[in-house]
Amino acid sequence: MRKQDFLEALDDALHEREFSKVERKDIVEDYQAIIEEAIERGEEETEFIQKLGSVKEIVRQLKRSQQRPKSSREKWIAVSPFMALIVFFLLGFGWDLWHPAWLSFLGIPITAIALETKGKERLLALSPLVITVTFILIGTFSGLWDPFWSLYVLVFAFGLAASKAPWLRHTSVIPVISVAGYIGLFYLYPQLSWWVTMLVFLPVLPLVFFSGVIQVHYGGLPATWLDFFKTKTFWVSLLLLVTTSAVYAVLVWVSGMYHPTWLVFLAIPVGVLLYGRLVRKEDIPLVAFMPFIALLVFFLVGHFLDGYAYSWLAFLAIPIVAILTNQD
């Protein structure tokens, strides 16, 4: 059986066993990636597919895994939204800290990642979330949005540290030094122009493509750093990054506010999703846009209308849209 025949048979069998459209799509994509990785390693396509076992047995095992009792880790993940909601309301009603109490909702993905991933993969996945919490807490209570936005550069340090290549692991110290240098220059030499202090990040730029933090698929497979430049998605992302950075700089210069002007950067993931949906005709569900829309509504209503006490309701749009648009 060839790959395409196997994947079509798998999708049909999953449909018969009443897996949802989203579940079928995820499972088929997982098996497609497994087969393509095996072919990349030099294994013969039909022989490897035979090793996977019959489609009926695969689906039977998947169905059984759906029905098994939940482990303690899954129970903690399931309860985390309720814990986040309790913390949010306690801080909001008790101390009027609706912002940044919303950060408690980041505890949901943090819990899932901490319990479901291992080793360096866990560290890499957690780093942007932990840095976001740290950055917003520092910015909210001290107003030091600059220079502590530079903490995000540390994500590349975690990516390099998780690399399999020893020489790349050694380079993970470079982003750390760059961040420390930027913060040091900011306080020791405040008279320096911003573009001079930004020069400390130049050594980080060539490492971005080796860190594994930014990944693009090219021809159905993970792209190498050279293939990365061949993808239209990369150039769309780069255009969005440059444009939003320029808009952000102008907004900060005109208004003097680092928050909530940073919301313009949400245009990057939203723009990439729109490009995939409208131009590349990819099957990107509407719910993929909802976290960004909810975050935008939450902050704009909360900040300009002093409505953090009720703007959190925007996040309920995420599960509502997921339920309404889910098709079996």
Q: What is the pTM of this model?
A: 0.60
pLDDT of 325 strictly over 80 = no
Q: Which of 66-75, 81-90, 290-299 has the lowest mean pLDDT?
A: 66-75
Which token pair is 319?
């599960």
What are the C-alpha distances in Å from 93 to residues 67, 77, 88, 202, 315? 39, 25, 9, 45, 18
Rounded to the nearest integer, the mean pLDDT of the chain is 81
Position of tokens 């910015």?
139
In sequence order, which residues have a C-beta less than 8 Å from that of residue 92 and are 6 or more positions away? 98, 101, 308, 309
Rounded CA separation 123/72 (Å): 21
Rounded CA separation 236/166 (Å): 32
State mean pLDDT over 148-153: 88
